[in-house]
Chain A
Amino acid sequence: MFSELPLLSLVIWTPILGGLLVLATGSHRRGGLQAKVLTLLVSLLTFALSVLLFTGFDTTTAEMQFTELQPWIATFNVYYHLGVDGISMPLIVLTTFTTALVVIAGWEVIKTKPAQYMAAFLILEGLMNGAFASLDAMLFYVFWEALLIPMFIIIGIWGGPNRVYATLKFFLYTFLGSVFMLVALIYLYFQTGTFEIGDFHAVQIGLTAQIWLFLAFLVAFAVKVPMWPVHTWLPDAHVEAPTGGSVILAAIMLKLGAYGFLRFSLPITPDASHSLDWLMILLSLVAVVYIGFVALIQQDMKKLIAYSSISHMGFVTLGFFVAFSIFENTGSWRGVAMGIEGGMVQMISHGFVSGAMFLCVGVLYDRLHSRQIADYGGVVNTMPLFAGFMVLFAMANAGLPGTAGFVGEFMVILSAFKANFWYAFLAATTLILGAAYTLWMVKRVIYGKVVHEGVATLKDINAREFLFLGVLAVAVLALGLWPAPLLEVMGPTVANLVEHIAVSKL
């Protein structure tokens, strides 16, 4: 009965139009209560719509589903072409899910211009959904660039004291990267005469051109993921961003970069990916190990979690790009899919876990207005319920089996082993490093005696906070205990992708 609905257009335009409506409602009446209620309704409606995508999804095919096709700019063969497969659909659901939580999380906290704040998140949600659902490269590019604006505004207006520096760094980095992608897309347009991503996948390109294309895409996506050494904008952006901004940034926006590798780099330039895979593996392992050490000594909780995010995203890129080494080492493409799927599971689980961690820091920040680890200690004495949640999410962040954090890391380590023992060896150091930086922070923040007066005055989480932390806890455990449904969605698409990259374009 829902199959006739243009679901993808709905998950894109409902929040965008809803956001405009919220803007029109304004903040001035009753602290923007109307605006907040409206935002919540819109975000829940969008989430419900995305659930229909999940339930209506055909897990037996790698074909694009829920497709919509309209001419947009006929002169340049640009189409409003939407569709999802096993790679993009889970990310859309993650986006709508996270946005709804962020709306709840910002409910009482945002005092200045609440309506504008809420509207920014709704518009951002629609734009992110658009980026994931676009099958036309130009459409994708428009969404990709447009979604920088609301995030820019969110950090720039509701951010911390050093927000101007952080927003500029964030904007320049990501914008500069995108320019290279635009050049690559235009080049591909001249090769194919269209902006259809599917046609890009099929076009034959020589190795040199592939390498240039790959590097252009790499600049854009590596900044977004972010990969070492173009990662330093992220800790700054996180530290200055309001809690909701951090959550969306970590849970969704980073995934856009990783998504780009799967949608553009690997299928369009398989041979370049093959010849430059050493670089990708190297950068991924640097992210896991180097960033792991850097996370260990951070004094600011948000910075620590930001570095932990970079480290975890290293698993995503590692999982994607060990593909070719597995083939070279074992002589078969078996095991390749597990790496890619592991990277994708890691994207989803990182969305839950890092989102939850940022929300936890937000809960503390709202009370004491400090993110410094040294300002806390013994929080369990005054906030035992919160402490329980924080420990759970910390364990998920440390990759404990039974939580979401384990699944992706496990799959990537297993497949890295097939490529090279030392890849797996270095990747597996996260078992120690991840536990060290996360649990050491927990020890200093949560456990021990109350030393600071501020901690003694803390009030445990209220019903609203319990709601969003509880929902995330369920999500983290569900994905950890039974990842099969997610894998079922991804399976055919990834199998198809592996078949595609196994064939050289030369």
Chain B
Amino acid sequence: MENLEAITLAIVLAPLFGSVIAGLFGGKIGRSGAHSVTILGVGIAFVLSLTLFLQALSGDIGSINQSIYTWMISDGIRFEIGFLIDRLSTMMMVVVTFVSLMVHIYTVGYMADDEHNWPDDSLAGKNSYQRFFSYISLFTFSMLMLVMSNNFLQLFFGWEAVGLVSYLLIGFWATRESAVYANLKAFLVNRVGDFGFILGIGAVLMYFNTLDYQAVFNTVEMHQDVTVSIWGDSEWSLITVICILLFIGAMGKSAQVPLHVWLPDSMEGPTPISALIHAATMVTAGIFMVARMSPLYELSETALSMILIIGAITAFFMGLLGLVQNDIKRVVAYSTLSQLGYMTVALGASAYAAGMFHLMTHAFFKALLFLGAGSVIIAMHHDQDMRNMGGLRKYMPITWITTLIGSLALIGAPFFSGFYSKDSIIEAVGHSQLPGSDIAYIAVLLGVFVTALYSFRMYFLVFHGKARMDEHTREHLHETPRVVTWPLILLAIPSVFAGALFVDSMAFGDFFREAIVVAPAHDTLGALAGDFHGWFTFGLHGFVTAPFWLAAAGVATAYLLYMKFTHVPTMLKEKFGWLYAILDRKYGFDDFYEWFFAGGSRGIGNALWRFGDVKLIDGLMINGSALAVGWFASVMRYVQSGYLYHYAFAMILGLLALFGLFVI
């Protein structure tokens, strides 16, 4: 297609344009101007992305790899900015722009009275509405740059740019101490991941002499047997080293244990960005990256095993933490961590397609759940504590039904979207032969029970039972405005249908074509495809599988604990105080990091400064030599006495010495 370059450029530049206008001229164009221009920009990006996606589906366009401009040339290596448009990236583009569009519209309602969130006499809140739109459009641009990239440089650019916007948005309410603590933490923990990531890029450049994906993938087989020694004489496979380093980056961005600690705290940001950035899109960048790098990962079983285990740990243990949260957003946040673990497990089992499939369905239903939670929060006048909610279904029917849909999709109820994607992952892990796959299988199975339990705990606590809020709040309870509910409805639709629609092609078919490479020995999804007989049979069969019964048990337990025998949770909490304490302290990760890394770095810094700089260098060397000079000078002072006869005497001595030299 002739105008393809123009279309791809328009997709990334339209949100950027909206962002710049709303950001720089927000005061002039006002609120409606800002949201109109950004919604228009993201809308254009969505429509064009959808067009590309449909064309890619119908086969009108194959995969396109084009450069936009040369960032720089150094040492004969060209660093380009360019796009790779294939089925993997078009799918991501549609997901990103669709969720982003929904969040943009929703934000019109959510941020309508944002001035209340700022101190009265603060200028920081001026035009905060416009600034918020500018940021989320900038995020959309950055995320698109990331997924559309055809090279590692631009991937890293997008990677860090989404991190920047995430930083700005978590700390959006910049006058709140907790928010600006959370955004610093998020940025730094992500930087730990990026530290690995940039070293991975360094390894790629060193051995492949290019950062272009296609060029790397084309020659990857040649480097299969290359080994590098990093520590002493131990030899590591090059590909394993690259894969692990890159995956460390993914662990930061996709919040995998032990780099997960920033995600729960990121809930300090306004809810729309929790939905967009910290659930649907940015946090899945790591998953996308590994899927994109499948030609590399397929050559390293060590890396795949590691991914499998880390994903399994995240999926199960982070889910458990969701059980003890009282803040509605934090429940959804831990649920996101756990689901990201599922996607990671899929990657480890070489079921990249299933991971991407779950990424897509999760984007829909998790954005829905977050926006639903946000809708509740609006109605509750920004009270997020579930202990003060209850019985909301009567007041907010649309929020209630859509949240129920989201929850059903999340726990994997048959025929809902999450069912198809999660079941394919669980099945694939069951078929994986890699070391660690047994543990991972158990973890993801048990995770299903935990997911159902915390999801329906939240659901019951919020929408059913007694209304526990104060009188004033209850009197003002009502459904949120249409700009809020419409996005919920629009997200609920794919949360139901996207699974059935795509399970055939995406999980078990050849949806991603050459974009995802799987070695025959690892082809877990391929092995399952033989038993797959269409979405309907798969859904029916779902009722007789272990995950279904585990999920059902989870829902039943939640019902019993939070609807029937409501005194039991408190009792359990007291009886198993130690367990509750562990969960409540989030396994101690935060405390340990705060003490060891934050405190430790300050300690090292203090020690180096006080001892190294002040005492040793300045004290001993500099002022020491100053003292020495001073002493020397004091000796010289005797010599330079100012008396003429002293000088005369010295001259005569000198002359004598010189003569002496000549004589000898």
Residues of A within 8 A of B (CB): 169, 229, 232, 290, 293-298, 330, 334-338, 341-342, 378, 380-384, 387, 391, 395, 400-402, 406-407, 410-411, 413-414, 416-418, 421-422, 424-425, 428-429, 431-433, 435-436, 439-440, 443, 446-450, 456, 460, 481-484, 486-488, 491
Contact = CB atoms under 8 A, between A and B. Distances in A.
Of A294, A418, A425, A487, chain B has the most CB atoms within 10 Å of the CB of: A294
A447 B71 contact: no
Given A380-B174, A402-B157, A429-B195, A296 B602 contact: yes
B199 A401 contact: no
A232 B610 CA distance: 12
Given A334-B75, A483-B71, A294 B608 contact: yes
Output the residue of B126, B199, B230, B604 with the most chain A CB within 10 A: B199
Contact of B184 (A294, A298, A402, A443): A443
A381 B123 contact: yes
Contacts of B175: 378, 380-381, 447-449
Given A229-B621, A294-B609, A425-B199, A491 B174 contact: no
Contacts of B605: 293-297
Contact of B230 (A335, A413, A421): A421
Given A447-B180, A481-B71, 10 more contacts: A338-B74, A380-B122, A380-B174, A387-B124, A421-B228, A428-B199, A433-B601, A436-B191, A449-B119, A484-B70
Interface stretch (B202-210, B273-281, B320-328, B471-479): B202-210
A344 B71 CA distance: 17
B613 A384 contact: no
A482 B71 contact: yes
B30 interface: no
- Ordered nearest first, which 3 A-B pairs have the shortest CB separation? A417-B202, A297-B605, A447-B180
A380 to B, nearest CB: 4
A336 B202 CA distance: 14
A297 B160 CA distance: 25
B601 A460 contact: no
A395 B577 CA distance: 44
Given A232-B613, A414-B202, A400 B164 contact: yes
A429 B194 CA distance: 10
Contacts of B124: 380-381, 384, 387
B609 A297 contact: yes
A293 B74 contact: no
Contacts of A439: 167, 184, 187-188
A402 B188 contact: no
A414 B174 CA distance: 35
A297 B73 contact: no
Contact of B602 (A297, A383, A391): A297
A190 B560 CA distance: 96
A458 to B, nearest CB: 10
Interface residues of B, number: 59
Interface string B598-626: 00011011101100110001100110000
A416 B174 CA distance: 38
Contacts of A446: 174
Contacts of B184: 439-440, 443
Given A428-B199, A429-B195, A460 B177 contact: no
B69 interface: yes
A342 B124 CA distance: 38
Given A425-B199, A449-B177, A435 B70 contact: no
Contacts of B180: 443, 447-448
A436 B195 contact: no
B171 interface: yes
19 contacts: A293-B608, A297-B606, A334-B75, A336-B75, A338-B75, A380-B175, A383-B123, A400-B161, A414-B201, A414-B206, A418-B202, A428-B195, A432-B192, A432-B195, A436-B191, A447-B171, A448-B175, A448-B177, A483-B72
A256 to B, nearest CB: 21
A293 B601 contact: yes
A435 B206 contact: no
A401 B201 contact: no
Contacts of A337: 74-75
Interface in B199-253: 199, 201-203, 205-206, 209, 228, 230
B179 to A, nearest CB: 8
Given A436-B601, A439-B188, A229 B617 contact: yes
Contacts of B230: 421-422
A75 to B, nearest CB: 27
Contacts of B621: 229
A400 B167 CA distance: 12
A409 B601 CA distance: 22
Given A381-B122, A401-B160, A439-B184, A484 B73 contact: yes
Nearest to A481: B71
A469 to B, nearest CB: 14
B54 interface: no
A335 B209 CA distance: 9
Given A407-B72, A429-B195, A447-B180, A435 B126 contact: no
Contact of A341 (B74, B198, B205): B74
Interface in B148-178: 156-157, 159-161, 164, 167-168, 171, 174-175, 177
B198 A413 contact: yes
A482 B69 contact: yes
Contacts of A401: 156-157, 159-161
